[in-house]
Amino acid sequence: MEKYLSDLFSNQQYNTDNFFLIAGPCVVETEEIVMETAERVAAICKKLQIPYIFKASYRKANRTSANSFTGIGDENALQLIKKTGERFAIPTTTDIHTAEEAAIAAKYVDVLQIPAFLCRQTDLLIAAAKTGKIVNVKKGQFVSGPSMKFAVEKIKGAGNFKVGLIERGNTFGYQDLVVDYRNITWMREIKVPVIMDCTHALQQPNQTAGVTGGNPELIETIAKAAIATGADGLFIETHPNPAVAKSDGANMLG
């Protein structure tokens, strides 16, 4: 495990042979949901000695419909994410969407996540790098694993060598995604940690109803295959009751 990751997990007791886990609700909805989710996942990870990073988006900028829930307010949500990390003594992560957001979010979280659709945005990658935080970049649904070396080069070129890549499948037709597990091997050749996003990889986007669909019954399959092919970590969005989740409920783990 890279030193910056072992430093990140220094407050946790874990089996060094284990993968690490990034998990939490898609978006901050309420303090109750955030805390309940973090408490449950942290307890499971402690029992199984899996290093854990809590994840929640403070704002959802990429939604199918203009009527979809986007958040409770940036400041409120970021404060709740920070509070969660402090309460359970775990590192935290959230995604950012513009270069201006990087420095703001970095005050509250330990890891900055770059959304898949924005993985080629040079100014965003450089701004995230300059915060000095770990930067995890989701591989775009429209790019190959090997081409993610350019995103890594941008971040390292800005002086930050704490980089990870997240596989989340590739667009297959208009309303489906498929996972090419060769990408895990290819991205590991870039010499950075590679994480499998087990839930977003099972999305069925662009539904005519304006709400993304999904196949959550395959989360276990995706996760097992990812570890078998060399993934360093897993990313799983989870919610106490996915049926009422305000974002990505159709592909979350309950």
| pLDDT for the residue numbered 204 | 80
CATH (domain of 135): 3.20.20.70
pLDDT in tens, 24-74: 999 999 999 999 999 999 999 999 999 999 999 999 876 556 656 777 999
Residue 231 has pLDDT above 90, yes or no: yes
Q: Which pTM value belongs to this model? A: 0.92
Q: What are phi and psi of 95, to 5 degrees?
A: -95, 155
Please compute the mean of the pLDDT values over residues 193-214 and round it to a whole number. 79
Question: Could you write out the DSSP letters of every residue in 4-56?
Answer: HHHHHTTTS---TTSPEEEEE-SB---HHHHHHHHHHHHHHHHHHT--EEEE-
Range of the domain at 50: 3-251
pLDDT digits (tens, 9 = 90+) for 40-52: 999 999 999 999 9
- Which residues in 52-72 are b (16+ Cβ under 10 Å) and which e? bbbbbbbbbeeeeeeeeeebb
Query: Which of the four pLDDT bands, split at 50, 70 and 90, describes residue 215?
Result: confident
Q: How many domains does the chain have?
A: 1
> Rg for the chain (alpha carbons), in Å?
17
Q: pLDDT (tens digit, 9 = 90+) per residue, 174-201?
A: 888 999 999 999 999 999 999 999 999 9
- Scan for tokens 């701004």, then name that residue: 127
